[in-house]
A and B are shown apart, each in its own frame.
Chain A
Amino acid sequence: MIQAKGITVATKWQKIKIDLSGYGLNSDQKDEVADLIIERIVNRTDQGKDKEGKRFPGYSKSYKESLDFKVAGKKGRPVDLQLSGDMLAALEVLDKTSRSVTVGFERGSEENAKADGNIRGTYGKPTPDPKKARDFLGITETELSKIIKFVKAQE
């Protein structure tokens, strides 16, 4: 839960489960794939693109004029979801099974709340706004195939 101006907002635990069955990966390779999935998500976000490769909606005028925006040395573009950089740094492997890996944020953490605000477009408000949403948490089939091919080629 996060609280803003007297409103209590329920945050959603932000995580994605990626099915790795059928690729014939061993345990170390799954670790490597999970690591590269996280790096792909962070790199793509650095470039201002969402999980489908589309540009994120621009920052609001009020945010661009804020003191936080200025002192963090940010510019209007790219929209990279990084002020302190802590949210993306908190992205981690949450679980690994024989069939899948789950990456996301620690449940109930400040970074999960920030991620949830971006992903659903809530930003501390009770109702999500899809127009403001910046869903960065995901990986396309193409990206995943490329990563798996790379990891298997290291054998």
Chain B
Amino acid sequence: MSSQRQFANIIKKLEKSVEQAISKTALKNVGVFARDLVVKRTRLGYGVKNDLEAKSRLAKLSPNYIKKRKMFDGLSSNTSPSRSNLTLTGQMLDSIISETKDRTIIIKPTGRRDDGKLNADIARYAEEGGRNRPKRIFLRISQLEFKQIVRFYRKTFGDLLRKKKVI
């Protein structure tokens, strides 16, 4: 499984919602907005199992792992020992970027961490889970995030910009 997510279907759906083709500049801005939504939602402790479904709480951390986190000096200020939000040092979520290629937005973790591991591998490890480790799927867009993206597009580039005087 790839640790990067391509959102071509989201763009198609967005274009259908706003009934117009989206320009390259708009696509780039939509990508950054979508990236920020994914990172914020994950930091708040929620994942999304499939695109355009409802978000749900990420699986809880095990008591043993919470103990380890309590002892860990480099714990990010964006988490707490017991909070399940895919944040230990914070490097993986911080590394996530959005790229646009053709008619697709790609949201992906990038680069290498302080410990030499790839952020993409850390994300894949979280999403795939393991024998005693639940899947924590987060690189998706929820239904309500999609609605936020539609609104962002309409407000920034689309018809709502033209209607600014009344709303």
A-side residues, CB < 8 A to B, are 36, 39-40, 42-43, 67-68, 70-73, 83-86, 89-90, 111, 146-147, 150
Which A-chain residue is minimally distant from B37 (CB atoms)?
A: A85
Q: If A71-B78, A84-B40, A85-B37 touch, does A147 touch B166 (CB 8 Å cutoff)?
A: yes
Residue of B nearest to A109 (CB): B54
Which of A67, A68, A150 has the largest number of chain B CB atoms within 10 A?
Answer: A67
Contact flag A90-B144 (CB < 8 Å), given A36-B166, A39-B163: yes
From residue 132 to 167 of chain B, which have CB atoms closer than 8 A to chain A?
142, 144-145, 147-148, 151, 160, 163, 165-167
Q: Which of B78, B83, B148, B167 makes the CB contact (< 8 A) with A40?
A: B167
CA distance A36 to B41 in the complex (A): 27
- In the assembled complex, the Cα of A36 lies from the Cα of B43 at a distance in Å of 32
Please report the C-alpha to C-alpha distance between residue A35 and residue B41 in the assembled complex, in whole angstroms: 26
Q: CA–CA, A150 to B165, complex, Å?
A: 9
Contacts of A71 in B (CB 8 A): 40, 43-44, 78-79, 85
Selected A-B contacts with CB under 8 Å, 29 pairs: A36-B166, A36-B167, A39-B163, A40-B166, A67-B78, A67-B79, A67-B80, A68-B44, A70-B78, A71-B44, A71-B78, A71-B79, A71-B85, A72-B40, A84-B40, A84-B44, A84-B46, A84-B55, A84-B144, A85-B37, A86-B55, A86-B144, A86-B148, A89-B144, A89-B145, A89-B148, A146-B166, A150-B163, A150-B166
